């Protein structure tokens, strides 16, 4: 099975900078250029890391640090990237590290869907998970690892306890390279066994792992799609956030329960109970996104429309296409994979992340 060559995929985009932009339309990259040297937005401060070096292995395990500063003893969430279908482990770890956007920057995307360093070859840009809030401000609450152990099939490890790793509070992301050659119906997907269900305030379990695992398809025809697919699937696997696009894309699917905490309400009474205090609020991440687009020379075209699409309100037909049910925002990361969770889902995600004390990297 052919792997994904480093020369084909691209290189880490340090040159893209804090002012680079990202635009996404229904999960698809659109045009961007490198930003000027000045910017109105800044990624999280990067300082000298303490802890494990990049690539350092936890003794007696297959887990290597995918970012500097990991500490397996720290009170952090352990995010593990595992391969499926890759011929070259170096290529896999290289791609996995690019998909993180650990430096908080946008990464340029070329015509063939690869991450590129040369602006003249770019047709768009995307923000990876640690460039998007609340992950962006919570890097000290995560260790990020890579392994060379792969599941028998991409979905073999979806449920907690099936992956052969023994770190506390772990979520495994399987990057499945071109799995459609074997299963044309496979899409990116997250497991269902997540501890956090709401609407009660979240709490850490007395025992066991609170997170699910996820599969993210890396398609050789547009591998950079993983930049938006990883945060979407981890929205499910870490925070138990629902898909908000089901009814909008496919119509009503026949379910009897139209409630999915925190952003999909069965009726107005439930919506008022869940998010009335946030109506009119706009997730500040939209300002970071818009400013980076402006700085790069490719403004979003309709800033007011983008802001309106992520303003908390009561959107009819909810998440499942039934009149009278409601969702909190017209668009979001859990809908068309724009890099904005929306204030309702972001509030819940931040409550969960705050359960971990983290550990400073400097």
Q: Write out pLDDT tens, residues 1-49.
A: 333 223 233 333 332 333 333 333 333 333 332 333 333 344 444 444 5
Q: Tell me what pLDDT residue 17 has.
A: 37
Confidence of residue 247 (pLDDT cuts 50, 70, 90): confident
* Mean pLDDT computed over 210-238: 95
Task: Specify the range with the lowest mean pLDDT, choosing from 108-112, 202-206, 238-242.
Answer: 108-112
The closest alpha carbon to 35, from 107, 95, 110, 102, belongs to 107
pLDDT of residue 45: 43
The helix (run of H) or strand (run of E) holding residue 94 is helix 89-100
DSSP state of 18: T
pLDDT digits (tens, 9 = 90+) for 327-353: 999 999 999 999 999 999 999 999 999
Question: Between 3.10.450, 3.90.1340, 3.40.390, 1.10.3470, what CATH number should domain 49-94+131-197+208-353 receive?
Answer: 3.40.390
Give the contacts of 177 (CB within 8 A, at least 6 positions apart): 1, 3, 4, 83, 84, 85, 86, 92, 218, 220
Enter the tokens of residue 76: 């952090």
| Per-residue pLDDT, 311 | 97
| Residues 256-301: tens digit of each pLDDT | 889 999 999 999 999 999 999 999 999 999 988 877 776 665 667 7
Higher pLDDT pick, 239 / 296: 239
Q: Which residues contact 64 (CB under 8 A, 6 or more apart)?
A: 55, 56, 57, 58, 93, 145, 146, 147
The per-residue pLDDT for 302 is 83
The pLDDT > 90 percentage for the chain reads 65
The pTM (predicted TM-score) of the whole model is: 0.85
* 39-89 pLDDT, tens digit each: 334 444 444 456 899 999 999 999 999 999 999 999 999 999 999 999 999
**What is the chain's mean pLDDT, rounded?**
85
Structure confidence by residue, pLDDT tens digits, 110-144? 888 888 888 788 888 788 999 999 999 999 999 99
Determine the pLDDT at residue 43: 44
Q: Domains of the chain: which residue ranges?
A: 49-94+131-197+208-353
| Residue 309 confidence (pLDDT) | 96
Quickly state the pLDDT bin for 303 (edges 50, 70, 90): confident
Question: Which of 103-107, 149-153, 322-326 comes out lowest in average pLDDT?
Answer: 103-107
Please identify which residue in the block is written with the tokens 């990991």: 70
Determine the Cα–Cα distance for residues 245 and 242; give it in Å rounded to an integer.
Answer: 9
What average pLDDT does the segment 239-256 reach? 87
Residue 54, judged by CB atoms within 10 A of its CB (0-12, 13-18, 19+), counts as: middle
């Amino acid at each position: 099975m052919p792997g994904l060559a480093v020369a084909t995929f691209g290189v880490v985009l340090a040159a893209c900078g804090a002012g680079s932009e990202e635009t996404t339309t229904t999960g698809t990259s659109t045009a961007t250029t490198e930003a000027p040297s000045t910017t109105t937005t800044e990624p999280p401060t990067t300082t000298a890391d303490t802890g494990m070096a990049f690539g350092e292995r936890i003794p007696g395990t297959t887990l290597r640090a995918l970012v500097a500063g990991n500490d397996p003893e720290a009170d952090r969430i352990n995010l593990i990237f595992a391969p499926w279908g890759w011929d070259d482990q170096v290529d896999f770890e290289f791609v996995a590290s690019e998909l993180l956007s650990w430096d908080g920057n946008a990464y340029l995307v070329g015509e063939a869907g690869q991450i590129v360093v040369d602006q003249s070859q770019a047709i768009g840009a995307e923000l990876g998970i640690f460039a998007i809030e609340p992950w962006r401000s919570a890097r000290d609450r995560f260790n990020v690892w890579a392994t060379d152990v792969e599941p028998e099939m991409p979905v073999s490890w979806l449920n907690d306890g099936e992956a052969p790793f023994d770190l506390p509070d772990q979520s495994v992301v399987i990057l499945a390279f071109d799995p459609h050659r074997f299963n044309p119906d496979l899409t990116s997907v997250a497991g269902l066994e997540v501890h956090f269900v709401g609407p009660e305030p979240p709490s850490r379990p007395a025992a066991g792992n609170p997170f699910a695992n996820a599969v993210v398809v890396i398609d050789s025809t547009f591998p950079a799609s993983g930049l938006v697919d990883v945060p979407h699937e981890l929205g499910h696997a870490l925070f138990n956030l629902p898909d908000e696009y089901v009814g909008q894309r496919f119509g009503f699917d026949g379910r009897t329960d139209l409630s999915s905490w925190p952003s999909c309400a069965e009726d107005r009474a439930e919506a008022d109970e869940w998010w009335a205090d946030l109506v009119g609020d706009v997730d500040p991440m939209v300002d970071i996104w818009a400013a980076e687009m402006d700085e790069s020379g490719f403004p979003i075209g309709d800033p007011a429309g983008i802001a309106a699409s992520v303003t908390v309100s009561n959107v009819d037909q909810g998440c499942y296409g039934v009149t009278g049910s409601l969702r909190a925002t017209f668009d979001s990361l859990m809908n068309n994979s724009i890099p904005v969770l929306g204030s309702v889902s972001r509030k819940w995600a931040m409550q969960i992340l705050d359960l971990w004390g983290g550990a400073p990297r400097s």
